[in-house]
Amino acid sequence: MQILEHIHINVASLAATAEFLQLAVPAYSRRGGGTSSSYGDWLHIGSESNYIALTEVKGAEPMANLRHIGLQVDSVDALISRLHAAGIEPSDSSALDEHPHRRRVYYVDGNGLDWEFVEYLSDQPSLRNDYSH
């Protein structure tokens, strides 16, 4: 089995993306972090099997060719409620209920990174991966 193990992103503020991710995905926690003499402050946030590596680079801009980063969540409604309580609103909820087997909502974090959160409504791969809708 192959699974994405991590992605590494330069951000202007470690705290902005880390706080957003911990609100959005409570199962994610800080796996490690510190300061490297080679590249500065860094943080790994995620689960036991995968994570998002962040390096703080002053003035870093969101990557020009990155559309969004997608994460699966158990409940889009719970995610929306958690983020709303923290004063964070979706950047786009137009796809929320457009598909019978998945729900999607989009947010932009404090560093300008676009995040897509997906809740699957079926355990059947053929329905989850149906792109005809």
90 close to 75: Cβ distance less than 8 angstroms: no
pLDDT value of position 64:
80
d(CA 106, CA 26): 17
Contact at 8 Å (CB) between 56 and 99? no
Q: What angle do CA 49, 28, 36 make, to 5 degrees?
A: 80
pLDDT in tens, 40-74: 999 999 999 999 999 999 999 887 889 999 999 99
For residue 90, what pLDDT is reported?
97
Selecting from 3.10.180.10, 3.30.70.260, 3.40.710.10, 3.40.47.10, what CATH number does the domain 6-59+66-128 have?
3.10.180.10
Q: What is the mean pLDDT of residues 105-121?
A: 96
Q: Which pLDDT does position 133 carry in this prediction?
A: 77
Give the DSSP letter of residue 77: H
In the three-class reduction of DSSP (H, G, I as helix; E, B as strand; rest coil), residue 38 is classed as: coil
d(CA 53, CA 28): 12
Q: Which of 42, 36, 45, 44 is nearest to 60 (CA)?
A: 42
- Note the pLDDT of residue 1: 65
Sheet of 6-11: strand order equals 6-11, 51-56, 40-46, 29-36
- In tens, the pLDDT along 69-109 reads 999 999 999 999 999 999 999 999 988 888 999 999 999 99
Could you state, in order of their start, the residue ranges of all structural domains in the chain? 6-59+66-128
pLDDT of residue 100: 94
pLDDT category of residue 2 using cuts at 50, 70 and 90 = confident
